[in-house]
Every structure is written in structure tokens, then in C-alpha cells.
């Protein structure tokens, strides 16, 4: 009989297929050899695992590559294998010694207060299982195409190695919507549901995964399969129908033009987006140029990146947001350690004003890029007007320095994110901002007091809450009355189901995820 399991959707889409269990760290049924032989076995397994990860690194780019670089560095670090090798010397088999040592490490990472280290626990599990497979010679079931991968959690390399050529899906007992894997799944369009618990999934053979609804059906009956086929045909129909809007301006039935811009994080994304499909870049999250654990990018590196966005946009406006780290985006050495409440702490402009040298490097790179196209600069997490004034003064100072050195530069229009409720409630205090861009992700979490990264309160973290919509409408009205441009760049703009409410609230400029351009334009055309 069919069983329905409700979890949390981490990536939209529908898929039905056979279950493939993610190879866990199985240590059963392996006989150990002499300590010398076991030492060799473990060393060889680690070498093979490192070679695999290095091979994978060549097939990916951006964040996925950084994540693999972290794993490779761990595998190449003797400190990781030392406890296992010591256990082998005392007579324990390589498989048990390795798992025991890694489980200890993983427990330490999982117990960390720090989001960064907790997120790395998945990487360590990945490393543990990859090496163990080489020790035990276990086949990797994730490589089977057209399957639903089921397990406690899935490591990012298992995702990258899985064969998605015939589609597939992911259903996890635990997992998180903000993990690296969730991000990879959304980018690849692989449906994913997390937080399903083990009970209903442990023995399942066939699953229907509905990422949009966060719903999984185990052992579907004929009626479930028929409903699945209908839903999937409807989704595919919607996708194809939306495609015709991709390269056209977004127009409502009334003929009113809605601006549709794109949100980007890295230069490597540009190759997959046609600039003709959007009205420019509404949000470039510059913090993704800063990699945790890597040296900070210098002025020239940043300048080249900012210029690449302007060149790609070919005269369309490009809004680059200054560094928005802190909260859920830590950078060791810059963001504070052990904050009680990082989302309410030193993040965004609060942090860059506290690290003036870092801020100045970025502002100089931006002032230099501004000469090469219609650049706008946006400040995140503004709470009081003084933060704009201080940023503007720093900008002036940087310009003076560049000009004195004979470097071409200019100050671009300086606007702000509206994501702290204080700004949305009293936008008139921020008359010095050249434009407003509503960050509905943070605005929603602060208005509803429901964290954006905690699946347990996901239902409360609702951008369509009347209180959030009322604030958005007030900001849009203030923009119209004062002639200040207002856009919205939170994830809400990328959801066709929210488009109607946003336009009813008076928002006429949306900045959306690249994968959602056509769908959002199609939703606008319906209005």
C-alpha cells in the first residue's frame, strides 16, 4: 500500500523511480590482514579516493570546485589518517580503524556551534565513505542512472558523481534545504526532499518525489502513478509554454512593462545566461568572490570580475552588492567566532564598516569598474542612514586616492537593500539612497522571527505573510512618491506563485534566479 511522507522540499520537480540506497559506511564482513597489510590497504584507499576527488574537480567549477578542494586538502592531510594508522598498528582492521577515527572527527564537526563546521560534517562523511568503499571494495550505487537516491544525507561528491542523464531525485531522512547538495540539486533541476525520517523510507522500493510540495510517496499505487503522470505532464507543459517568453520583454496583459533582472553570484554563471533574456543584473552577490579559507581577493581580481559582469551585460544596468558576509555566510578571520545570534550580529555593512581595509579594497575595485558601464552599487543590511553616509564618505576617499594615482574611476549610484524591517517601516529616513532593492529573504525572517535556514520553522518563514506584503507595498509606494527606483531581489521574486501579489503590491522590477527567468515572465504575462 502507498505511504505518503511529508518532508521539506529542497529542490522543485517531480520524479518517479526505483530506490538506490546511498552506500553508507558499511564495515561488515571484511577480514583484516596483518597490521602491515592493513596499513598498506588504508594508504592505498586514501590515494585512490584523492585521485577520484581530483578527477571530479576538473569536471566542475565555482562553489562545487571549492568544496572538492576542501575534501582533497583533508585527504592529503596526514593528520586525518594518523589516528586510524595508530589503531591499525595496535591490531585493528583498516575498515574499523578508519570509520572509528572519522566518526570521531564527524561528531566533533556536528557538535560545533559554528554553521561552517557543521556544514563541513557532510564533506567528512563523504570522505569517510569514499575511502571505505576502496577499503572494502563496495560498489557505489549512486552511479546507477534514473534512480531516487535515499539515505540519511548525501555528500556533495556523491551528487556530482551520480548519473543524472536519465533524471533522478533525492529523498533524505535528514538533510537540509541550505546544504551544498541542495544548491547543486536546484542548479541541476533534480527534485529533492529532506527531513523525511527513516521509518517510511527504510524498506521502500519505488518512490515518487515531489520537490515542490516536499512530498514523497512510497510504493505508489495505480492512482498515484496516474496522478504523477498528469502532474508531470502539466509541469512540462508549463515549462515549454514559459520558454516562448524568455527573450521577450515582460509585459502584463494591460501592456505594462515589468522589469526582469537576474541574480548572479559568480562570473562562471554568465556562460549559461543569455543577456538578451533579462534587463540586466539586479543583484550580484559579491561575497561569493570571497572563499572561506582562501586569501581575500585583491583590488585587481575584484575589478576584473566586476568588469566581466558589465561586459556581459552589454550596456544593461548591473547592480553589485558590497560584501554581505556574516549570518549564514562566514569567512574565517573576518566574521566573528561564536556569535550567539549571527543573523542579528555583525553582518553586511556592519561588518564591512568594521573592516575598513577590506571595504576600501572593494570600493576601489567598484569605482574603477564604474568607468566601464552602467554600474550601481548596493549596500546590504542597512539599518540607519549613517551607514550610507559612512560608505559614501569611504567611496569619496577611495576615488580621491585613485584619481591622485591617475587611475580612471568614478562613483556609481549608491543604493541600499531593504531587508531590515527598520528600513521598510521608515523608508523616508533613507533619502540619500539612490535606489532600494527589497531583500525579501531577510525581511521575511526578521518580520516573522523565523530563521531562513531552519526547516522546523519553514512554514512560518512565509514571504506571503500579510505583514511582509504590507511592508513591501509601503516601500514601493514610497518609491513612487519620491521617484526612487524600487526593485525586489529576494527568492520570492523567482517564484511564479508570488508574482501576482508582488505586482499588486506595486513592485514593477523583479530580480530573479537565472533558471526562473522564463517562468516569471510567463507569470507576468498572465496578469
Which residue numbers are catalytic?
A: 180, 489
278's contact among Mg ion, ligand PEP, none, with CB below 5 to 8 A by partner kind, is none
324 forms part of the interface with ligand PEP (CB under 6 A): yes
| DSSP code at position 23 | -
What's the chain's length in residues?
Answer: 527
> Which does residue 361 bind out of ligand PEP, Mg ion, none, counting CB within 5 to 8 angstroms by kind?
none
How many chain residues interact with Mg ion (CB under 5 A)?
3
Minimal CA–CA distance to 38: which of 139, 138, 135?
135
Radius of gyration of the chain (CA): 25
Interface residue with Mg ion among 12, 210, 259, 442 (CB under 5 A) is 442
- Interaction pattern, residues 449-488, with ligand PEP; x per rule: CB under 6 A: ----------------------------------------
CB of 339 to ligand PEP, least distance (A): 16
Q: Which region among 201-209, 215-223, 433-441, 474-482 touches ligand PEP (by CB under 6 A)?
A: 433-441
Q: Which residues of 66-82 are buried (b: 16+ CB within 10 A; e: fewer)?
A: bbbbbbbebbeeeebbe
Q: Which three cell numbers stand for residue 378?
A: 548596493
Q: Does 419 bind Mg ion (CB under 5 A)?
A: yes
Considering the complex, state which of residue 157 and residue 487 has its C-beta at the smaller distance from ligand PEP. 487
| Residues ≥6 apart with Cβ < 8 Å to 159 | 170, 181, 184, 185
**Contacts (CB under 6 A) with ligand PEP, residues 44-73:** none
Among 174, 213, 252, 285, binds ligand PEP (CB under 6 A): 285
Distant-in-sequence, close-in-space partners of 527: CB < 8 Å, separation ≥ 6: 252, 253, 254, 499, 500, 503
Nearer to Mg ion, 129 or 442 (CB): 442
In eight-state DSSP terms, residue 455 is G
Compute the least distance from the CB of residue 12 to ligand PEP, in Å: 18
**Looking up cell 568594521, which residue turns up?**
354
Binding segment for ligand PEP (CB under 6 A), chosen from 40-48, 220-228, 440-448, 464-472, is 440-448
Give the 3-state DSSP-derived string for 460-492, with helices as H, strands as E and coil as C: CCCCCCHHHHHHHHHHHHHHHHHCCCEEECCHH
Count CA atoms within 13 Å of residue 409 on its CB side.
23
Residue 64 in grid coordinates: 562545487
188 lines the binding site for ligand PEP (CB under 6 A): no
Using the structure block, give the residue that is written with the C-alpha cell 585521485. 51
Query: Which listed residue (151, 439, 463, 479) binds Mg ion by CB under 5 A?
Result: 439
Q: Which stretch binds Mg ion (CB under 5 A): 190-198, 276-284, 338-346, 435-443?
A: 435-443
Q: What is the DSSP string of 348-407?
A: THHHHHHSHHHHHHHHHHHHHHGGGS-EEEEETT--SHHHHHHHHHHHHHHHHHHHHTT-
**Three cell numbers, residue 137:** 571494495
- Picking from 11, 7, 5, the residue whose alpha carbon sits closest to that of residue 180 is 11
Q: Output 196 or 349, the one with its CB closest to ligand PEP.
A: 349
Per CB under 6 A, does 350 bind ligand PEP?
Answer: no
Task: For ligand PEP, give the closer residue by CB, 75 or 382.
Answer: 382
Half-sphere exposure of 337 (CA within 13 A, CB side): 4
Residue 335 touching ligand PEP (CB under 6 A): no
We find the least distance from the C-beta atom of residue 432 to ligand PEP, in angstroms, to be: 21
Q: Is 489 in the site for ligand PEP (CB under 6 A)?
A: yes
**How many of the other CB atoms lie within 10 Å of CB of 289?**
19
Residue 489 binding result from Mg ion, ligand PEP, none, given CB thresholds of 5 to 8 Å by partner type: ligand PEP
Q: What is the DSSP letter of 268?
A: G
Contacts of 256-259 with CB under 8 Å at 24 or more apart are 256/508, 257/508, 258/503, 258/508, 258/509, 258/510, 258/524, 259/487, 259/508, 259/509, 259/510
Closer residue to Mg ion in complex, CB, 7/439: 439
Minimum distance from CB of 488 to Mg ion (Å)? 12
Q: Given the rule CB under 6 A, which of 167-175, 177-185, 332-340, 436-444 is the region that contacts ligand PEP?
A: 436-444
d(CA 509, CA 437): 9
CB of 291 to Mg ion, least distance (A): 19
Q: Of the candidates 217, 440, 448, 494, which one interacts with ligand PEP according to CB under 6 A?
A: 440
Q: What is the DSSP letter of 412?
A: P
Rounded least distance, CB 177 to Mg ion, Å: 16
Verify binding: residue 327, Mg ion, rule CB under 5 A. no
Strand duo 509-512 + 215-218: pairing: unpaired
Stretch binding ligand PEP (CB under 6 A), from 44-52, 116-124, 177-185, 438-446: 438-446
> Closest CB to ligand PEP among 257 and 285?
285
Question: Which of 490, 494, 512, 519 is in the footprint of ligand PEP by CB under 6 A?
Answer: 490
Residue 419 is placed in which grid cell? 531587508
Contact 204, 150 (CB under 8 A): yes
Looking at residues 220 to 259 of the shown chain, list those that interact with Mg ion (rule: CB under 5 A): none
- Is residue 342 at the binding interface for ligand PEP, with CB under 6 A as the rule? no
Distance between CA 154 and CA 515 in Å, rounded? 23
Q: What is d(CA 443, CA 418) in angstroms, rounded to the nearest whole number?
A: 7
Residue among 93, 195, 439, 479 that touches ligand PEP (CB under 6 A): 439
Which segment (123-131, 209-217, 435-443, 494-502) binds ligand PEP by CB under 6 A?
A: 435-443
Binding site for ligand PEP (CB under 6 A): 283, 285, 324, 419, 439-442, 489-490
Binding site for Mg ion (CB under 5 A): 419, 439, 442
Amino acid at each position: 500500500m502507498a505511504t505518503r511522507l511529508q518532508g521539506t522540499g529542497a529542490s522543485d520537480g517531480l520524479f518517479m523511480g526505483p530506490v538506490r540506497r546511498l552506500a553508507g559506511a558499511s564495515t561488515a564482513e571484511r577480514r583484516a590482514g596483518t597490521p602491515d597489510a592493513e596499513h598498506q590497504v588504508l594508504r592505498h584507499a586514501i590515494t585512490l579516493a584523492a585521485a577520484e576527488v581530483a578527477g571530479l574537480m576538473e569536471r566542475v567549477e565555482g562553489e562545487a570546485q571549492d568544496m572538492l578542494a576542501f575534501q582533497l586538502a583533508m585527504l592529503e592531510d596526514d593528520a586525518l589518517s594518523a589516528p586510524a594508522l595508530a589503531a591499525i598498528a595496535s591490531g585493528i582492521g583498516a575498515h574499523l580503524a578508519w570509520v572509528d577515527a572519522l566518526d570521531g572527527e564527524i561528531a566533533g564537526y556536528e557538535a560545533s556551534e559554528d554553521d561552517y563546521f557543521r556544514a563541513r560534517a557532510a564533506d567528512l562523511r563523504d570522505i569517510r565513505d569514499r575511502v571505505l568503499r576502496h577499503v572494502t571494495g563496495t560498489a557505489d550505487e549512486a552511479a546507477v542512472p534514473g534512480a531516487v537516491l535515499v539515505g540519511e544525507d548525501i555528500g556533495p561528491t556523491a551528487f556530482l558523481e551520480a548519473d543524472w542523464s536519465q533524471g533522478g531525485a533525492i529523498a533524505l531522512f535528514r538533510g537540509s534545504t541550505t546544504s551544498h547538495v541542495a544548491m547543486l540539486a536546484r542548479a541541476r533541476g533534480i527534485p529533492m526532499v529532506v527531513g523525511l525520517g527513516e521509518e517510511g523510507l527504510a524498506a521502500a522500493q519505488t518512490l515518487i518525489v515531489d520537490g515542490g510540495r516536499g512530498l514523497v510517496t512510497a510504493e505508489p499505487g495505480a492512482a498515484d502513478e496516474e496522478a504523477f503522470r498528469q502532474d508531470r505532464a502539466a509541469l512540462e507543459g508549463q515549462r515549454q509554454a514559459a520558454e516562448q517568453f524568455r527573450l521577450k520583454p515582460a509585459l502584463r496583459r494591460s501592456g505594462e512593462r515589468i522589469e526582469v533582472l537576474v541574480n548572479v553570484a559568480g562570473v562562471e554563471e554568465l556562460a549559461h545566461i543569455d543577456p538578451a533574456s533579462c534587463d540586466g543584473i539586479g543583484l550580484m552577490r559579491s561575497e561569493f568572490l570571497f572563499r572561506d579559507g582562501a586569501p581575500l581577493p585583491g583590488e585587481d581580481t575584484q575589478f576584473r570580475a566586476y568588469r566581466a559582469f558589465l561586459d556581459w551585460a552589454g550596456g544593461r544596468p548591473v547592480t553589485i552588492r558590497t560584501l554581505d558576509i556574516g549570518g549564514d555566510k562566514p569567512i574565517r578571520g573576518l566574521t566573528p567566532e561564536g556569535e550567539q545570534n549571527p543573523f542579528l550580529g555583525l553582518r553586511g555593512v556592519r561588518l564591512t564598516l568594521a573592516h575598513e581595509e577590506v571595504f576600501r579594497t572593494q570600493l576601489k575595485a567598484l569605482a574603477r569598474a564604474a568607468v566601464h558601464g552602467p554600474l550601481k552599487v548596493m549596500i546590504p543590511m542597512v539599518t540607519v542612514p549613517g551607514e550610507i553616509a559612512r560608505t559614501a564618505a569611504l567611496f569619496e576617499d577611495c576615488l580621491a586616492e585613485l584619481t591622485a594615482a591617475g587611475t580612471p574611476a568614478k562613483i556609481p549610484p549608491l543604493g541600499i537593500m531593504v531587508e531590515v524591517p527598520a528600513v521598510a517601516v521608515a523608508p523616508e529616513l533613507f533619502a540619500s539612497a539612490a535606489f532600494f532593492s527589497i531583500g525579501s529573504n531577510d525581511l521575511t525572517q526578521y518580520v516573522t522571527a523565523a530563521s531562513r535556514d531552519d526547516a522546523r520553522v519553514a512554514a512560518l518563514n512565509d514571504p506571503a505573510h500579510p505583514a511582509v506584503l504590507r511592508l513591501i507595498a509601503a516601500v514601493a509606494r514610497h518609491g513612487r512618491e519620491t521617484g526612487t527606483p524600487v526593485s525586489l531581489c529576494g527568492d520570492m521574486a523567482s517564484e511564479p506563485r508570488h508574482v501576482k501579489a508582488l505586482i499588486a503590491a506595486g513592485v514593477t522590477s523583479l530580480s530573479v534566479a537565472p533558471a526562473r527567468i522564463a517562468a516569471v515572465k510567463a507569470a507576468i504575462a498572465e496578469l
